Amino acid sequence: MARIRPQLEALLARLMLLAGVVDGAGPERIPHALRRYILRLLRPAEALTRRLIVLMAREMEVGRHPGRPEAGPGSRLACPG
């Protein structure tokens, strides 16, 4: 996963360059054809980023919060059933 991040950053930099963004400021409008081209490149990158987030979340170890009470019988935290 660490090797994909530089590729995503390079793609994002390329998209910003295409859109004419320099030092955080870009044009008010970009041509419609260029906008469609950028979106066509951006959508797969967004999907890849979402998949990476899911994969990284699967590898995380999540412990119980130390201040949270146990859910016992009659507790509003207990599951009905």
Q: CA–CA distance from 54 to each of 2, 28, 76 (Å)?
A: 14, 35, 30
pLDDT in tens, 4-30: 778 878 888 888 888 888 887 888 888
- Give how far the C-alpha of residue 37 lies from the chain's centroid of Cα atoms, to the nearest Å: 21
Average confidence score pLDDT of the chain: 80
What is the reported pTM?
A: 0.54
